[in-house]
Structure 1
Amino acid sequence: MKRGRAADAVKAARQATGMTQQQLSFEIYESREAVSQQENGRYRVQPNISKYFTEKHNNPWVALEAAAEYTGWGPVKLDGEVVDLHRASVAMKTKEELTEALQAIESVCVANHPRAIREYDKQHLEEAILQAIDAIVALTQYVAVICVDYGFSWLKMWQKHRTKLQTKGFIRK
């Protein structure tokens, strides 16, 4: 198996806490070898490691990277050479991406049946989808950076959101 981003995220998260692989293995009830194999990409990062870093260290990045590797889609931590994850930069970029997504969504009519859509409109709809995905990624970065920087629990924020959805009848328990 090719070493993926989730493996790098686990190693970085472990090192940021100052733990050795052996110490992490005691925390998650796995062998040091299992931790090593996940960090080196021989095995996929397991949910218990993602959950550990999210719950105990308020680090959502391992879980985001692992989920994206498992599913083949979804937001990951932006880490390219031109990315600035300072909270002010992330907030500004999120506003920009949301504005672009709203403009793209407003420019397309989805009231017509999908079989009746013209090719021209279909191209605009595809652009709206891509703009919406850009906004989802930006919002994910925003929530993660703000939670980490200000000490809000990533997990508790998502639990509050789920409770709100349940209360409003949008999801079942």
Structure 2
Amino acid sequence: MEKSSLKSALREVRGNQTQQQMALELNVSRELVSKIENGTRTIPPDVSQKLMQTSENARFAFALRHEYTKTGPVWLDGPDVDLHHASVKEKTIEEMEEVIVALRNFNFARSLKSISHWERQEIDRLLQESVEAITALEHLVVVLCENMNISYTETWGTHYQSLRAKGWLS
């Protein structure tokens, strides 16, 4: 997400609290809270974890991930975006269908080191379709968690448990 998205997510987490009240809860200085909100300082990992534990704010988690990695989906907040859960569902289906078509159209049977220029363009298209689908899916998870008052953290926790049970995660 853009810095402004993290700032707005942090302000949403802070709610009606003053910066001083939040700082006291987090055991940090008010100045640090101010710098984080102004975008001149990143959120230390321990502070971000504490904020997630206390706020359970899915958009904040979304913003944090982008803040730390500068990759991944950004929260869609432009004038033409429709984040109603039904619209997000339909957009997710559309994006998933497009990535499935791109996956089916590319032949993975041969070495990727010997692909042609044309095949490289197909891979680029597949990657773009994939990140669009990831963005749609991430929005779907956040919107559903928010609208249904379901814990975003617990949703991911259940997923991690499933991965461990399958032996895919240590």
What does residue 80 of structure 1 align with? 78
Distance 1:121 1:96, change over 3 A: same
What does residue 169 of structure 1 align with? 167
> Which runs of 4 or more aligned residues in structure 1 lie more than 3 Å from their structure 2 counterparts after TM superposition?
2-5
Kept after mapping to 2: 8 A contact 1:3/1:41: yes
What does residue 8 of structure 2 align with? 8
**CA RMSD for the aligned pairs?**
1.8
Equivalent-residue separation in structure 2 for 1:53 and 1:86 (angstroms) = 26
Return 163-172 or 41-50, whichever deviates more. 41-50
Return 64-73 or 135-144, whichever deviates more. 64-73
Paired residues for 1:47-126 under 5 Å: 47-126=45-124
Q: Which letter maps to 2:119? A: D
What's the CA shift for 1:8?
3.0
Number of corresponding residues: 169
Distance 1:80 1:52, change over 3 A: farther
What does residue 134 of structure 2 align with? 136
Q: Name the SS for the 1:148 alignment partner.
A: helix
What's the CA shift for 1:80?
1.1
Q: Which letter maps to 1:12? A: E
Instruction: Report sequence identity in percent.
Output: 34
Higher RCO structure, 1 or 2 (CA under 8 Å, sep 6+): 2
What does residue 38 of structure 2 align with? 40
Structure 2 length-normalised TM: 0.91
What does residue 21 of structure 1 align with? 19
Q: Which letter maps to 1:65? A: A
What's the CA shift for 1:46?
2.8
Equivalent-residue separation in structure 2 for 1:104 and 1:54 (angstroms) = 36
Structure 2: state its 5+ residue gaps: none
What does residue 152 of structure 1 align with? 150
Q: Name the SS for the 2:81 alignment partner.
A: coil
What's the CA shift for 1:3?
5.2
